[in-house]
Amino acid sequence: MDKKTLYITIGSVAGALLISVFIFFMTFRVTEVEVVGNTRYTDKEVEKMALTGPFSFNSLLVVWQNGHQEVTDIPFIESFELERMSRHKIRIHVREKQPVGYVEADGQKLYFDKDGLVVETAVDSGSDAEVVRPVQGESDPEEDTAEYHAAVTDVPLVEGLEFASAVVGEQLQVENEEIFNTIMGITRMVDKFEVIPDKVVFDEEYNATLYYGDVRVLLGQDTLLEEKVARVAAILPKLAEESGELHLEDFESGTTQIIFARDNAPTAEDGGNQVVIPGTNDLVGNGEDSSEDTEDGNVEGNG
């Protein structure tokens, strides 16, 4: 093969490759982006944050390259998930940081996430209806924004945290940041067993107490939370008309009895104000126990 023929062959192959690459990128060129799960930023802002890198315009390569993105430097965002809907369409799933509890300060409810980052504020109106404060960077109504929904339900009030100030988008400055892991654990468990308390109160030693109306559940330290809350879920229906303290602060896996101490009950030397409730796994498994019950299902003690 002479040089001329070789050059022609090389040129033909290179041209074919270039045409193939051009066709590939045009065939899978991103022309439409859908954003779901976003309440914090405009869709355009999310698009700029999630579609990064040299192949962000190609629906195949961008999903392959950045299909799942854990986010650490963008307020309110936990992660992005990219999904290819068609050759030209990408869907961005936004996972926002969810509140695990809230504190009250200066007439406001300040909702924070698992890291103690304040992600939401609401006016403490004293009723179920809450007015959500605008968050930083809120866009003009005419911009392409997602409908705003405040994620402020089904998380407990938290008391006992000491902090100087709180700003949306910044972390609550507390002495022991590990407390947020405890709060997250409690929130997950009470949500799992569907026993959201009115509030969670921490003392100076970070012992937790859950409040359910007139019933106070002493959880104690951050140990065996799932087992403790499972017992709470099984026992609470028995305490519907009661007022007092359910003692789980010394609970262990082998605990066979749980004490409920009534408020304002006649106290005898033998513990007349106390009710002993079985604390075995059987209680959690079927919701039954061997304690003496009244006809309406409430606990009846030794008083």
In a domain, 13, yes or no: no
pLDDT at 129 over 70: no
| pLDDT tens profile 93-105 | 999 888 889 999 8
State mean pLDDT over 6-10: 73
Share of the chain above pLDDT 90, in %: 30
In a domain, 123, yes or no: yes
Q: Which residues of 7-23 are buried (b: 16+ CB within 10 A; e: fewer)?
A: eeeeeeeeeeeeeeeee
User: Alpha helix (H) ranges present in 37-144?
Assistant: 43-50, 59-66
Answer whether 274's CB lies under 8 Å from 260's CB.
yes
| Neighbouring residues of 190: CB distance < 8 A, sequence distance ≥ 6 | 156, 196, 197, 210, 229, 232
Query: Residue 42 maps to which CATH number?
Result: 3.10.20
Highest mean pLDDT among 76-80, 130-134, 207-211: 207-211
Q: Do 215 and 123 sit in the same domain of this protein?
A: no
Count other Cβ atoms within 10 Å, centred on residue 109.
21
In a domain, 16, yes or no: no
Angle at 190 between CA 186 and CA 193, to 5 degrees: 140
State mean pLDDT over 143-153: 41
pLDDT band at 283 (very low <50, low <70, confident <90, very high): very low
| Tokens 């949500």 -> residue | 191
Q: What was the pLDDT predicted at 28?
A: 79
User: Quick one: which of 102, 96, 91 has its CA closest to 39?
Assistant: 96
State mean pLDDT over 24-43: 84
SS3 of 254-276: CCCEEEEEECCCCCCCCCCCEEE
Q: Do 89 and 153 sit in the same domain of this protein?
A: no
Distance between CA atoms of 228 and 283, rounded to whole angstroms? 12
| Neighbouring residues of 303: CB distance < 8 A, sequence distance ≥ 6 | 262, 265, 266, 268, 272, 273
| pLDDT tens profile 254-273 | 888 888 988 876 654 445 56
Q: What was the pLDDT predicted at 207?
A: 94
Q: Which of 29-33, 127-131, 227-231, 257-261 has the lowest mean pLDDT?
A: 127-131
Count other Cβ atoms within 10 Å, centred on residue 202.
19
pLDDT band at 142 (very low <50, low <70, confident <90, very high): very low
Distance between CA atoms of 135 and 66, rounded to whole angstroms? 28
Q: Do 90 and 103 sit in the same domain of this protein?
A: no
Q: Do 214 and 300 sit in the same domain of this protein?
A: yes
Range of the domain at 267: 176-303
| Tokens 């390569």 -> residue | 61
Answer whether 160's CB lies under 8 Å from 190's CB.
no
β-pairing verdict for 68-70 and 32-36: unpaired
Q: What was the pLDDT predicted at 273?
A: 66
Answer whether 269's CB lies under 8 Å from 275's CB.
no
Q: Which DSSP letter does residue 253 get?
A: T
Q: What was the pLDDT predicted at 201?
A: 96
pLDDT at 146 over 50: no
Instruction: Please state the domain count of the chain.
Output: 3
pLDDT at 151 over 70: no
Q: Do 186 and 291 sit in the same domain of this protein?
A: yes
Average of per-residue pLDDT values in the chain: 78
Question: Which position has the higher pLDDT, 147 or 200?
Answer: 200
Q: Do 219 and 110 sit in the same domain of this protein?
A: no
Q: Do 225 and 295 sit in the same domain of this protein?
A: yes
Q: Do 206 and 294 sit in the same domain of this protein?
A: yes
Which of 137, 169, 201 represents a domain boundary (last residue)? Answer: 169
Question: Which position has the higher pLDDT, 68 or 127?
Answer: 68
Which of 169, 191, 225 represents a domain boundary (last residue)? Answer: 169
In a domain, 1, yes or no: no
